[in-house]
Chain A
Amino acid sequence: MTSRLRPGTGGDTVVRVEHLVKRYGTVDAVRGIDFEIMRGEVFGFLGPNGAGKSTTIRCLMGLLRPTAGRVTAFGLDTWTDGVAARRHIAYLPGELRLPDRLTTLDLVATVGRMRGGFDVLRREALAERLQLDVRRQLRDLSSGNRRKVALLLAFLADADLLVLDEPTTGLDPLIQHEFLALVRDARADGATVFLSSHVLSEVQCAADRVAVLHAGRVIAVGTVAELRGRPRQRIEAWFDAAPPVAELLALPGVADATVDGLRFSATLAGPVQPLVDLLARHPVTSMRVEDPDLDDAVMALYAAHSGDAGAGTAGQRP
């Protein structure tokens, strides 16, 4: 792994969010959150719409002034030392609005001049990986292609920290796959990646650690493995004969069971192996196990922290 020169005095902590509060009028979008992103990691930022993900990120980018608390990147306060901090950050906005009258090349040149220049060979290689025609007018591009332009700009900057807010919205599966490869490459080059998404699978694939936001609070921070262990999976099984309901309900972690003829469905919050063993002893014609979607994960975590006004700390670093 390449070791990059890091600015400031942040040490191994690249981003530090301390007691961050952001209030719009009487609405608290972010309610006093704390977390850290460490050097070289891919940090996932999960939460439903309105959880405060983009608000936190816009504070990190110096676009919003924190009502209380502070955000630092590389030891630099992103509000008072925003210009210095942003020299080391590349950003892909969640709500992407690009100028209409430029081509991708024009936009890359413009942003390049603001950042001190981009490598042309790197630009061409990235455009090829993203299957992007850089000579077309931005107004003629589909929303997916516009997202590719933003990805191109973010990865072209060769920044120490990539801040990606909902980066794959509107992308086809092929490019989503390529995006994950780009994230892996960036990390291998020593960059830190802050990846905000409401697509759990995407974060599961890419992130080392994850923070889950709900209603402006961090309700859990931990490794992906720790967080994946928490939420319930949906299980469905079709039997040749009547399902062994009593045995199924006796399994640890089975809940919300329904039986519809030969079909049994439930949620499973416990280990999978006992279920597999049980099904192996019965004539199962078909089955499906669905990973939890984000709502399940967030709701499960939220339920677990419903009496806790503060942050969850699964594996949270000091």
Chain B
Amino acid sequence: MNPAALELVALPVRALRRGAVWWAIGLAAMIALTMAFWPAFKGSRVIQQGLDMVPPALVQAFGLQDFLSPEGYLRGNLYAILVPLLLVLAAVSAVGSQTAGEEAAGRLELYLAQPVDRRWFFLGRGIAVAVAVSVISVAVLVAQVASNAIVDVRVDLGRLASTVVLSGLLALLHAALGFAVAGFRARPPLVLATGTVVAIAGYLVAALFPLSDVLAPWRHLSPWDWALGGDPLLHAAEPWRYAALVVPTVGLVVLGMRAFGRRDVAAA
């Protein structure tokens, strides 16, 4: 890779470095804290009785089924909502800051006046976000494995890794959506709102639609269902789930690149 092309990725990676480290520390701390309570939950009859009083559909909706097993505890506390949603927020905010945010602030103009292709410049920002999300995801996995070892939780490492990877890909899909929006418009709030609102809506579709016989089949419209609908902590995720997240991500990135290459660069 020539130095100019490498710089298009290295520059936003350097800018995201500090934020990614803080996200990684925050998520790792949250995982460690959550897992610290496992010994108190393990085999608790009181909690089981409480869960028995909740309608099964709601238990399912919030990922609380089999809550007192190690996999159920991880899913209900971390991987049904919290970890994927925080990864989405980290990814969307990173893409918003490195694309529309920097452009609206006028900080891209100096770089785009250099002999670099606009589309590749923009792609460099997308790759940097992917690098940041990967770093945070690795931190999540490492923190989870370490915490599991400390509190003696035995979960299949392959399935745990698969769950984290699917969560990371889910985050990147929403980041790619923000990236495409930023390709068309240098409006940071629009990028953040689109990624976040679609993520929350997608979660609600995946979590609540199954409660209705009429709506249940439509839950498959949600990327959350593609990523986590197969309960990857318990069952090996099918390859199509990865493809279902990666293919639209790539498509949205290409769309954003093309759009950015064809429009005016915003002035400060």
- Scoring B114, B264, B265 by chain A CB atoms within 10 A of each residue's CB, the highest score goes to B114
A63 near B113 with CB under 8 A, answer yes
* Complex Cα gap A83–B119 (Å): 11
B107 at the interface (CB under 8 A from A): yes
Residues of chain B from 105 to 139 with CB closer than 8 A to chain A in the complex? 105-107, 109-118
Choose among A93, A96, A114 the residue that contacts B116 (Cβ–Cβ < 8 A): A114
B267 at the interface (CB under 8 A from A): yes
* Complex Cα gap A86–B112 (Å): 9
Across the interface, which residues of B come within 8 angstroms of A89, CB to CB?
113
B115 near A110 with CB under 8 A, answer no
B113 near A91 with CB under 8 A, answer yes
With A97-B105, A97-B107, A99-B107 known to touch, is A113 a contact of B115 (CB < 8 Å)? no
Q: Which residue of B lies closest to A61 (CB)?
A: B113
B7 at the interface (CB under 8 A from A): yes
Q: How far is the CB of B10 from chain A (nearest CB, A)?
A: 8
Across the interface, which residues of A come within 8 angstroms of B116, CB to CB?
83, 114
In the complex, per-residue mask of A250-294: 1 if CB is within 8 Å of any chain B CB, else 0: 000000000000000000000000000000000000000000000
Q: How far is the CB of B264 from chain A (nearest CB, A)?
A: 5
B262 at the interface (CB under 8 A from A): yes
B110 near A58 with CB under 8 A, answer no
Choose among B14, B114, B262, B268 the residue that contacts A114 (Cβ–Cβ < 8 A): B114
B106 near A111 with CB under 8 A, answer no
B114 near A65 with CB under 8 A, answer no
Q: How far is the CB of A155 from chain B (nearest CB, A)?
A: 14
Across the interface, which residues of A come within 8 angstroms of B4, CB to CB?
113-116
A84 near B114 with CB under 8 A, answer no
B201 at the interface (CB under 8 A from A): no
Q: How far is the CB of A240 from chain B (nearest CB, A)?
A: 55
* Complex Cα gap A87–B106 (Å): 21
B111 near A97 with CB under 8 A, answer no
Size of the chain A interface, CB-CB below 8 angstroms: 30
Q: Which residue of A lies closest to B262 (CB)?
A: A65
B267 near A114 with CB under 8 A, answer no
Q: How far is the CB of A218 from chain B (nearest CB, A)?
A: 21
In the complex, per-residue mask of B245-266: 1 if CB is within 8 Å of any chain A CB, else 0: 0000000000000000011110
A172 at the interface (CB under 8 A from B): no
A63 near B110 with CB under 8 A, answer no
* Complex Cα gap A61–B263 (Å): 13
B264 near A153 with CB under 8 A, answer no
Across the interface, which residues of B come within 8 angstroms of A58, CB to CB?
265, 267
Across the interface, which residues of B come within 8 angstroms of A65, CB to CB?
262-264
In the complex, per-residue mask of A106-123: 1 if CB is within 8 Å of any chain B CB, else 0: 000011011111000000
A63 near B111 with CB under 8 A, answer no
Choose among A86, A97, A150 the residue that contacts B268 (Cβ–Cβ < 8 A): A97
Q: How far is the CB of B173 from chain A (nearest CB, A)?
A: 28
In the complex, per-residue mask of B56-83: 1 if CB is within 8 Å of any chain A CB, else 0: 0000000000000000000000000000
A93 near B265 with CB under 8 A, answer no
B105 near A111 with CB under 8 A, answer no
Choose among A54, A97, A111 the residue that contacts B114 (Cβ–Cβ < 8 A): A111
A63 near B107 with CB under 8 A, answer no
B11 at the interface (CB under 8 A from A): yes
A241 at the interface (CB under 8 A from B): no
Across the interface, which residues of B come within 8 angstroms of A99, CB to CB?
15, 107
A139 at the interface (CB under 8 A from B): no
* Complex Cα gap A91–B113 (Å): 7
Q: How far is the CB of B94 from chain A (nearest CB, A)?
A: 15
B110 near A83 with CB under 8 A, answer no
A101 at the interface (CB under 8 A from B): yes
* Complex Cα gap A115–B4 (Å): 7
9 closest A-B pairs (Cβ-Cβ)? A97-B106, A91-B113, A114-B114, A95-B268, A87-B115, A113-B7, A86-B115, A63-B265, A113-B3
Q: List 25 A-B contacts (CB under 8 A).
A: A54-B267, A61-B112, A62-B112, A63-B112, A63-B113, A63-B264, A83-B117, A86-B115, A89-B113, A91-B113, A93-B110, A95-B268, A97-B106, A97-B109, A99-B107, A110-B7, A110-B11, A111-B111, A111-B114, A113-B3, A113-B7, A114-B7, A114-B8, A115-B4, A150-B110
